[in-house]
A and B are shown apart, each in its own frame.
Chain A
Amino acid sequence: MSGTDTALSMSEIVVHRSGQRVLSFESFDLARGESVAIIGANGSGKSSFLLAASLLIPSTEGEIFYFGTKISRSNRREFRRLSSISFQDPVLLDRTVIDNLKIAMDLRNFEKTEVHSEAYSWLERLGVERLALKKPHELSGGERQRVSLARAFALQPAILMLDEPFTAIDPVDKRSISRDLHDLINENELSSIVVTHDISEAVVLASKIVVLIDGFIHQDGTMKDVLNRPKSVNVAKLIGHTVLGNDDARESLRISVPSSSSHELISFPTSAISLRANPKGRGQITRYESAVGGIVAIVRLAGVEIPSDISAHQVMSLDFAVGQYVDVIFDQSKLVHLSN
């Protein structure tokens, strides 16, 4: 590996799969030790992005550099060995858990005398050493994901790639695995790419974010920038913002939006709205919904339904039961003006 600070660089990439163009973007860079989340809806090209980045599918156009070296047909397999990938549905060979790690390490030419102890230590690190002699069909979804991650880390990759790592597991496992994953990525100072449709996973595992819509990169930047300043309606919706027309915003939130503005829409995160119990308030709680960051209360305000963050304590309170009236407090600093 050369001394460049960039672990992975992709430019002018176009990817076709089954005759369809699934990916097309100008550039993507992953710095050494950086964690980037790729977010997008189903069918947005996220998985294709990861497969192209991990050199498992070829790009029709464009160039890919690993640590400053251009990838070609001749060195593709050699550089593929610098990364590890864990898929959405953990793919394990029909062997024992320990053999899954050992076979992978053998394929990467690890020292034969160290393979067993090294594999076992990674199973221990991921808390699944007791499953070493079990077969994949004997494992739960969370256990399979932990084994898959143990294998990915055991290969000591320079770049770790995770495709929807928490989709197939229950919330309890999700919390503990995401904590372990976060620690391991930081401890090993790994460059990593996490593909997800869940913004909360992205926040936990990455510092930068790339928003992919219909195969195009619509926005990228630091987590804070993208989450607070979406550049388009599609990005705003994807990251869980509420999008309103200016007229609705003026009516419901009573905020001043210039009527002749070229920005015809506004967006804001659910955290911009807070509720205060008031039987004579303008808003009425109509229902609760699960959302990106947890539960939100849907409040009807001047005929417009607006989601609001709500604490577990408030949910338990009768003052915030469905049908109750509330005051709606809006934090204007979180307001974003958007073009339609």
Chain B
Amino acid sequence: MDLIRDAIRETFLLLLQGDSEIWSITLRTLIICGCSTIVSFIVGASAGFCLAVLPFRGRGVLVTFANTGMGMPPVIAGLLVAVLLWRSGPLGGLNLIYTPVAMIISQCVIAIPLVAAITAGSFMSLPESLFLQIRSLGAGRKDTLFLLAYEARLGLMVAMMAGFGAVISEVGAAMMVGGNLAGDTRVLTTATVLLVSKGEFGRALAYGIVLLAMVFIVALVLTSVQNLARKRV
């Protein structure tokens, strides 16, 4: 208990005293995870919409792939991206390994199937007659997309929350392709792992509390928006 009490006290001290390290790691975590979430959502939601709405051969197989991807271990995603971006790998010339961009790519590999599968499920749960009715009104593809997205907005918000949850909590891939470089690719999860390995449990717990608080605040905002939308349904 002392350890936890000390950690909470240390967290407040670090934050209130303006500890530059914790603030910079927190900010970096937010930027990297925010970028990953946005990219994952744009790509994943678009893919999910196509999987749900467009008739094409092999759609069922792709839906199965997306569903399988929901359970992809972050370490595997990290390994794949590391192999691609490694100096001698196919994309080694881009010099992205051990950079925040590499971390964003690996986090997107983890989150995109998740977002795509949840989005596809949300659109598929809309009645077929809604799709037909919108088309009968004369809507083109863009109008159809926006009208259906509005109808599936609760599911889309769940997809975004799931994507954010996946990228902010993963550590294996971030460590593997980011390298946990201080001041560059060190984020809250990788920093926590490092501190624990050094036996600095107090500061590690402080980082953990900040991470939890961040997830809580984001979840709170999205849940509030979701509840607001649900009340209007």
Interface residues of A, Cβ cutoff 8 Å to B: 51, 54, 56, 77, 80-81, 83-85, 87, 89, 91, 93-94, 103-104, 107-108, 135, 137, 155
- Pick from B17-25, B125-133, B174-182, B195-203 the stretch touching chain A: B125-133
User: In angstroms, how far is the closest chain B Cβ from the Cβ of A102?
Assistant: 11
Complex-state Cα separation, A18 to B130, whole angstroms:
18
B183 at interface, CB cutoff 8 A? no
Q: Mark B108-146, 1 if CB is under 8 A from A, else 0.
A: 000000000000000000010110111111111001000
A51/B137 in contact, CB under 8 A: no
B129/A56 in contact, CB under 8 A: no
The interface size of chain B toward A, counting residues with CB under 8 Å, comes to 18
A87/B129 in contact, CB under 8 A: yes
Interface residues of B, Cβ cutoff 8 Å to A: 127, 129-130, 132-140, 143, 147, 150-151, 232-233
Supposing A87-B129, A91-B127 touch, asked if A137 and B233 sit within 8 A by C-beta, the answer is: yes
Instruction: Pick the contact of B135: A56, A84, A94 (CB < 8 A).
Output: A56
Residues of A with C-beta under 8 A to B232: 94, 135
Most chain B CB atoms below 10 A, which of A54, A84, A87, A107: A107
User: In angstroms, how far is the closest chain A Cβ from the Cβ of B231?
Assistant: 10
Complex-state Cα separation, A225 to B80, whole angstroms:
73
Supposing A87-B129, A91-B129 touch, asked if A108 and B147 sit within 8 A by C-beta, the answer is: no
B147/A84 in contact, CB under 8 A: no
A54/B140 in contact, CB under 8 A: no
A85/B136 in contact, CB under 8 A: yes
Residues of B with C-beta under 8 A to A56: 132, 135-136
B136/A84 in contact, CB under 8 A: yes
User: In angstroms, how far is the closest chain B Cβ from the Cβ of A302?
Assistant: 49
A94/B233 in contact, CB under 8 A: yes
B138/A108 in contact, CB under 8 A: yes
A103/B133 in contact, CB under 8 A: no
**Which residue of chain A lies nearest to B140 when distances are taken between CB atoms in the complex?**
A77
Q: What DSSP secondary structure best describes chain B's contact surface?
A: helix
User: In angstroms, how far is the closest chain B Cβ from the Cβ of A78?
Assistant: 9
Q: With A80-B138, A87-B132 given, name 19 new contacts (CB 8 A).
A: A56-B135, A77-B138, A80-B135, A85-B136, A87-B133, A89-B127, A91-B129, A91-B132, A93-B130, A93-B150, A93-B151, A94-B150, A94-B151, A94-B232, A94-B233, A107-B139, A107-B143, A137-B233, A155-B137
B135/A81 in contact, CB under 8 A: no
**Which residue of chain B lies nearest to A104 when distances are taken between CB atoms in the complex?**
B137
Complex-state Cα separation, A84 to B129, whole angstroms:
14
Residues of B with C-beta under 8 A to A54: 136
Residues of B with C-beta under 8 A to A94: 150-151, 232-233
Residues of A with C-beta under 8 A to B139: 107
**Which residue of chain B lies nearest to A56 when distances are taken between CB atoms in the complex?**
B132
A91/B130 in contact, CB under 8 A: yes
**Which residue of chain A lies nearest to B232 when distances are taken between CB atoms in the complex?**
A135
Residues of A with C-beta under 8 A to B136: 54, 56, 80, 83-85
B133/A85 in contact, CB under 8 A: yes
**Which residue of chain A lies nearest to B139 when distances are taken between CB atoms in the complex?**
A107
**Which residue of chain A lies nearest to B135 when distances are taken between CB atoms in the complex?**
A56
**Which residue of chain A lies nearest to B148 when distances are taken between CB atoms in the complex?**
A93
Residues of A with C-beta under 8 A to B130: 91, 93
Complex-state Cα separation, A16 to B151, whole angstroms:
29
Complex-state Cα separation, A316 to B61, whole angstroms:
64
Instruction: Pick the contact of B137: A89, A108, A135 (CB < 8 A).
Output: A108
Complex-state Cα separation, A81 to B134, whole angstroms:
11
Instruction: Pick the contact of A103: B135, B140, B147 (CB < 8 A).
Output: B147
Complex-state Cα separation, A226 to B154, whole angstroms:
50
Residues of B with C-beta under 8 A to A83: 136
User: In angstroms, how far is the closest chain A Cβ from the Cβ of B181?
Assistant: 47
Complex-state Cα separation, A108 to B135, whole angstroms:
11
**Which residue of chain B lies nearest to A92 when distances are taken between CB atoms in the complex?**
B133
Complex-state Cα separation, A83 to B151, whole angstroms:
24
Residues of A with C-beta under 8 A to B147: 93, 103
Residues of B with C-beta under 8 A to A85: 132-133, 136
